[in-house]
Amino acid sequence: DGGITQSPKYLFRKEGQNVTLSCEQNLNHDAMYWYRQDPGQGLRLIYYSQIVNDFQKGDIAEGYSVSREKKESFPLTVTSAQKNPTAFYLCASSRGQGGTGELFFGEGSRLTVL
């Protein structure tokens, strides 16, 4: 079955460490996204990528980095510069041009900073 796979599901990090969250899709979608979810704040866009080797900052990109070397993969690195990284992170994808389809979501990764 096609879908989006995020790993790990749970991740613990010490302050000052970088961590990378994996996101892989086999839906053949061009666009991929990373969202951060905090209680009571809905979903906030971190980065998105319309096509391989291209990505744009979302609303809260500071302290995060991404790469898009393959169509299927869009990893997110949470750097030590992110002041408050404890959150639930969701990866999504969509087909076609922007705004023409719904988002398909992975199961999420919960990051906790100790």
Partner 1 sequence: AQSVTQPDIHITVSEGASLELRCNYSYGATPYLFWYVQSPGQGLQLLLKYFSGDTLVQGIKGFEAEFKRSQSSFNLRKPSVHWSDAAEYFCAVVGSGTYKYIFGTGTRLKVLA
Q: Is 105 in the site for partner 1 (CB under 8 A)?
A: yes
Question: What mask of x and - would describe binding to partner 1 in positions 30 to 49, judged by CB under 8 A?
Answer: -x-x------xxxx-x--x-
Q: Is 27 in the site for partner 1 (CB under 8 A)?
A: no
Residue whose CB is less far from partner 1, 27 or 45: 45
Q: Is 100 in the site for partner 1 (CB under 8 A)?
A: yes
Which of 90, 93, 111, 113 lies at the binding interface for partner 1 (CB under 8 A)?
90
Q: Is 99 in the site for partner 1 (CB under 8 A)?
A: yes
DSSP output for the chain: ---EEEE-SEEEE-TT--EEEEEEE-S--SEEEEEEE-TTS-EEEEEEEEETTEEEE-TT-TTEEE--SBTTB--EEE-TT-S---EEEEEEEE-SSTTSS--EE---EEEEE-
